[in-house]
Every structure is written in structure tokens, then in C-alpha cells.
Chains A and B, each alone.
Chain A
Amino acid sequence: MKINKMYSYSLLIPAGLIYGLFFLYPTIMSFFFGFTRWNLTDWEWIGLENYIMFFEESSLMIGFKNTFIFAFLTAGLKVVLGLIFAVLLTAKLRTKRFIRSLVFFPVLVSTIAVGIAFSVLLHPSEGLVNTVLGLIGLNGPDWLGNPNLAIYSVAFVDVWKGVGIATVIFIAGMMSIPVDYYEAHQMDGGNKFNAFWHITLPLSRPAINAVIILALIGGLRTFDLVWAMTGGGPGFSSDLIASIIYKQYQAGFYGLSTAGNVLLFLMVAVIVFPIFKYLNRKEVDL
């Protein structure tokens, strides 16, 4: 018994070392360096100053608001749209496989490429989107240049890119629901909507929960898409916490950006843990 235990632990050491050295150690150190003003050779303890600055400065504070909007908006849309797609694509359609791969395709494209492509498509006068809108007589707005709109435009592109993965998870969840339930439901003379509401939805709960958590965490940490599409602009209007951290780091404000990272870590934890617990309680067994 004892030897067996030892043996299994010893196998963990190499991975543990790497994990500890490259993940745990830097994470713990960042909590310390968040309280300092440091450069690559030296540090100075300044207490909570970095954190206070993050909350006082409007150009830093806006990141929290935008990240919040972005994460919940994209997660919500991915769940709703993903469910709709999944229901359609588990139905008896002839081109099912083709459409499935079509929906999943954007997931495979590099985020930066998607960002660049969409910033061309969303160009106010020459972009495809506004050209098409122009054909039906609508005057499209400056999607990325309007400070009030930019963050939403980026969010919709993120949904376009991410909905495929949600759909695939939902399809997997729905396929694992035994046909018996639907047969029984049919025997009782229920309609399609009832079948969805009372069978599909509750029994896909684990899949839905997985999508919500994944999409939320992904949304809270998004950086690349915003960076490729707007760079946080115009001004600071579409900055997310992650892009602010990156900019502060580039500027050489290492302490401030470390503090931002700690705040991001805490924000993800505070938002995701309770939701995770709540959702897990609501799951039902098949």
C-alpha cells in the first residue's frame, strides 16, 4: 500500500516541477509584484497604489465595464445561438453534415486573421457589410470607428467565431439523450416545442453549463480579437482588461500591469466560481 502510494506520487514529480516552476511560482510572485513598482532589475514597495490607480483612472476603469459587457454578451449569444443551431442540426436534414462543418469552420481560423478580415469587412464606406446595407437602402454606421459601437461589433465577431464550438458541444449533449424519452413523449401526443422544452433542454444541462463556463472565462480573458480589430480604440472605448494590461506592460509600467493581472484573476474567480456552483446544483441525471 505504502509503496504503491509513493510510486504514484513520484510519477507526478516531473510534471509537478514544471507546473510549479512555470505556473505556480509566477502566479504567486505576481501577487507580490502587484504591490510594487518594478523594472527588470529592481523593485520598490508601494502598497496598494497600483490597485487604486486601476480604479481611479477612467482609461483603466473602462476595461472592467467593457470586459463585463463583452463576456456576458458573448456567452449569452453563444448559448442561445448554439442551442438553435444544435436543434436544427440534430434534426433530419439532408445537408446536415455539410452545415455542421460550415458552422464549425470559423473556430478553425486564427483569431488574428478573423480580426483583420472583419476590420476590412466592417470598413465604413468600402466594407462589404455597409455596401450590402447600402444596396437595401440602409446607411450602415462606422462599426469600429464609433466609440459607442466598437465593443459590440467586436463582440458579434467573437460570437461568429465561437458559436461553432458551442454548437458542437450541444450536438454531442443532445445526441447522448436516449431516444426512449422522445418516443414516450410522442406516445403521449406532445408537440415538438414541448419535446424541446421538457426533454432536450433539461437533459442538455451539462452541455449548457460547460458552454456557459467556457464562454464566460474565454470572454473575460479575450485579448487577441480586440487587439486585431480596434487596438482598444477609438481612444480607450473598446479596451478590455487584457488589452489594458498589455498596453501598460508595453509602456514599461510593470507593476501596474501585474496589478491588473491580479485583478483579472480575481474577477474571473469571483464571477465564475459562484456561477459554476449554481449551475452544477441544477444538473439532473439522465
Chain B
Amino acid sequence: MKKMKMSLLIGLMLLLAVFLVACGGDDSESSEGSTDTNGEDNGETASEENPETTLTFLVDNQTVTDGIEAVAEDIKEKHNITTEIELRPGGTEGDNIVKTRLATGEMTDIMWYNSGSLFKALNPEEYFLDISGESFVEKYDDAYKETVSVGDAVYGVPGEASSAGGWLYNKKVYEELGLEVPNTWDELMANNEAIKEAGKVPVIASYKDTWTSQLVLLADYYNVHSEDPDFAEQFTNNEAKFASTPIALRGFEKLQALQEAGHYNGEESATGYEDALEMLASGEAAHYPMLTFALAAIADTYPDNIEDIGFFGQPGAEADDHGVTLWMPGSIYANKDSENVEAIKTWLEYFVSDEGLETYMAEMKANGPYVLEGVELPDDAYPAVKDMASYLEAGKVGPALEFLSPLKGPTLEQITVEVGLGMVTPEEGAEKYDRDVERQAQQLDLEGW
């Protein structure tokens, strides 16, 4: 009896093993098979001069695709390339989908993704097509190019205009109270005090959507960069920490200073991004530290108020060094293993060509400057975007840290909520974040960690 049980058990284990091996084998065969049939499909429908091709395009559902769709229609007309857009969730959930599909070889022909640290965490050499040889790459702004490159290889095409991180403010409130745009942090705090006395909310904290809590810290990076230009490199190489670099720690301190002075709205944890936009647009609140992509949402929901919204960069200590932190645009990347490499190159080239951009801009308003040489902001840009022009002319712009370093700790948004609510001190928050970054660096297998 016992023997019988044993042999059955062993038999079961063996079967299991065989089953597993079979599964593994099946996977690779089926994926090869599917790409093959794709190829055949294309062959069948091909007409001789201008073969019809279909490119699949994975985009997250937070990105407004109107502009892309308009350009895609042009491309369909001119090059007979159909674009099939496939939507995925955004945020970290979407990251998982992208990583899984890349690893299993099931990525679409082209895909939309962030530039900078998130992109570099994808292990780009393995999955994406190097387009450094294409002529349009020469038009790239250097700071942008760096965020979609690994070594000499370039992988991305800018999919939109850049945006800026700083303070959106309600111009009507400023007019009413006779305030000036602040050029130093102290001036900003003084403005806040005046706004508070007038019975309005000086600064909106919308911690129900935790990601919004990071802006005060991240938008402060222009000030860090201007005082300590090597911080990003040292940070990446494990030589500089937020907790031990006073100028970097300032960002955490500013978060807390606003809470201590009572400048936030109260009910921070119950206020979401949408609520914040309403408070700002209606003039119930004066400031909202945010990325300029919020302008499109304001224009969409409160079209009458968009003219009232202005923008300034998060000020530092010196009035003559008041600059703006830039967020690089999301980019479009090409799948290296796609069957349609030529079509992809045509697609990308058209997308950043003058014609393509014209179509795009007719559909979409810019949240900030374009990262291509010779492309100017159109005259009908949002007033808040025009406010950025003076910073651009003076050259007082710098990219955010996540575009200079591949490191960005994933729990930053929870930590900035803790600091912003006064649950921990700025020092404790910075230390926590440094440890979070350390985990990230180890997971990315960076040197020196």
C-alpha cells in the first residue's frame, strides 16, 4: 500500500514536471507563430507600390490622444499606415503591464511611455529600436535627448510638449489683494499670509491623490540644480543624499513650512486633484503646486477661468535666480522585434516633421515649450504657459531630477504626504526617501550601491 502511494506521488511529480516543460515550450512557439501570421497578413494585403501596414500602439489612458490620432490619420492618408491604439492603465499599474509585455515579447509595435528615470528602468537596450541614425534626432533639444538615450543610442521620439512643475496661481486673487508674483520663498510665504488673512486658502494640498503631494519637493529641483549642479550625478552614484545635502533637504522643509504656517486648505487627505482644480479655478484658493499639464484639464472643465490662471516657478532664496523646473515630454518608443521596422521609422519621422507637428498643434495646446529645435510656442497658448516664456528667454530652466537620474524612489508620494501633514520631520522624511532610493538602485543593479 505504502509503495503504491509513493509511486503514485512520484508519478504525479513527474507528470507535473513534464507539464511545466511543455508549457514553457508552448509559450515560445505560440509567440513565434503569432508574429509569423502577422507577417503573412501584411503580405496578403500588400499592394505593390504602397503596401498597407498596421502598427499597434500602446498608450496609457491618462494621456490625451486627440493629437496623436489626428497625426495618425495624416499618416494613414500619406503613407497607408494604419495606427491601432490600444489603451492601458496609467501609473504603477500600467508600469507593470508594460514590463510584463516587454518581458514576454508581446509589446505592440510602438508604445507611449515616460522619459527619464522610468524609461531607463525598463532596460531599453534589450527591447527598443535605436533611432540615433535618423535625421530627425538632430532636432532634439539636448536635455531631452539625454532622457531617452542610453549611452550613444537614442530610443524615443517626443510625443508632446514638455511641461513645467511649479505654482499655478489665480491671477484674480492676486489682483484683488494687490499681490506681486513672488521671486523668493520668503516673498511667497508673505503672499500666503496675506491671502490667509483675506479668508482664502493660500495653498492647496490634495493628498487624496497622493502623487500630487510630491510637487513642492520635485519642483524645487531648479534651486538644487542651480546651487549644486553635480547633485544629480552624485545622487545616482550613491555619493549624495537628500538627508545630508542641505539644499536638497530644503524641498522637504518647504513642504513642512507650509503646514506649520497653516497655509494648506485643511481636509488635505479628503481633497483630490479634481477638487483642487475647482478650488483654484473658482478663486477659492490662490496657489496650487502642480505640473502645467493640469492646464488642459482646467481649460476643459472650467473654460471661462483658464485666462485667470497664471504660473511661476517655485522660488528659492535669491530673487535673481528664480527659475523653473521642466518635465520632459512622454515619448514614443519602437519595439525592436517588430515586423514593421520600416513602417515604424516612417511613422516616427512623420510625427516629428513640420507637417506632423502642425497637425498635432492644431489639435492640442501646449503645456510648455516643445523640445524640438525651431518649434516655437503658438500664440494661442494658455496664459500660464506664456508666463513661462520669460524664464525660457533668461535660460532659467532646468529639468527635474527624475530626468537627470534613473533613480526615483517609488514611495516618495507617501513620504511627502507624511511630511506635508507634519507626521514626520523633513529630516526623517528625507532619510526614509534615501532608503527607498537605495532599494530602487539595488533593484536596478546600479554600480556603487
Bind each other: yes
Measured in the bound complex, the distance between the Cα atoms of B447 and A92 in whole Å is 74
Q: Are B4 and A144 in contact (CB under 8 A)?
A: no
Q: Is B435 interfacial (CB-CB < 8 Å)?
A: yes
Other contacts beyond A57-B435, A144-B269: 16, CB < 8 A? A6-B4, A9-B8, A25-B16, A39-B99, A39-B103, A53-B439, A125-B270, A144-B270, A145-B268, A234-B417, A235-B417, A235-B418, A249-B96, A250-B92, A253-B439, A253-B440
Q: Is B62 interfacial (CB-CB < 8 Å)?
A: no
B102 and chain A: residue at smallest CB distance: A40
Q: Is B63 interfacial (CB-CB < 8 Å)?
A: no
Encode A194-211 as 1/0 by CB contact (under 8 A) with B. 000000000000000000
Q: Is A95 interfacial (CB-CB < 8 Å)?
A: no
Q: Are B270 and A251 in contact (CB under 8 A)?
A: no
CB-defined contacts of A9 to chain B, threshold 8 Å = 8
B421 and chain A: residue at smallest CB distance: A234
- A40-B103, A253-B439 known; A232 and B414 CB under 8 Å? yes
Q: How far is the CB of A176 from chain B (nearest CB, A)?
A: 37
Measured in the bound complex, the distance between the Cα atoms of B19 and A278 in whole Å is 41
Q: Is A283 interfacial (CB-CB < 8 Å)?
A: no
- Stretch from A12-20, A157-165, A177-185, A213-221 at the B interface: A12-20
- Number of residues from B at the complex interface, CB < 8 A: 39
Q: How far is the CB of B296 from chain A (nearest CB, A)?
A: 25
Q: Is A236 interfacial (CB-CB < 8 Å)?
A: yes
3 closest cross-chain pairs (CB), A and B: A145-B269, A251-B410, A235-B418
Q: Is B207 interfacial (CB-CB < 8 Å)?
A: yes
Encode A37-56 as 1/0 by CB contact (under 8 A) with B. 10111001000000001000
CB-defined contacts of B12 to chain A, threshold 8 Å = 13, 16-17, 20
CB-defined contacts of A125 to chain B, threshold 8 Å = 267, 270
Interface residues in chain A, defined as those with a beta carbon under 8 Å from any beta carbon in chain B = 2, 5-6, 9, 13, 16-17, 20-21, 25, 37, 39-41, 44, 53, 57-59, 123-125, 142, 144-145, 147, 230-237, 247, 249-253, 255-256
Measured in the bound complex, the distance between the Cα atoms of B129 and A4 in whole Å is 61
Q: How many residue pairs, one in A and one in B, have C-beta atoms under 8 Å apart?
A: 104
Q: Are A235 and B415 in contact (CB under 8 A)?
A: yes
Measured in the bound complex, the distance between the Cα atoms of B439 and A255 in whole Å is 11
Q: Is B411 interfacial (CB-CB < 8 Å)?
A: yes
Within 8 A of A (CB), among B398-448: 410-411, 414-415, 417-418, 421, 423-424, 432, 435, 439-440, 442-443, 445
15 contacting pairs across A/B (C-beta < 8 A)? A9-B8, A13-B12, A21-B16, A25-B16, A40-B104, A41-B103, A44-B445, A59-B415, A59-B432, A145-B267, A234-B207, A234-B269, A234-B423, A235-B421, A237-B423
Q: Are B439 and A21 in contact (CB under 8 A)?
A: no
B13 and chain A: residue at smallest CB distance: A20
Measured in the bound complex, the distance between the Cα atoms of B418 and A274 in whole Å is 37
Within 8 A of A (CB), among B14-57: 15-16, 19-20
Measured in the bound complex, the distance between the Cα atoms of B20 and A25 in whole Å is 10
A146 and chain B: residue at smallest CB distance: B269
CB-defined contacts of A2 to chain B, threshold 8 Å = 4
CB-defined contacts of B270 to chain A, threshold 8 Å = 123-125, 142, 144-145
Name the contact of B121 in the complex, choosing from A145, A147, A237, A252 (C-beta under 8 A).
A252
Name the contact of B410 in the complex, choosing from A6, A145, A250 (C-beta under 8 A).
A250
Q: Are B443 and A253 in contact (CB under 8 A)?
A: yes
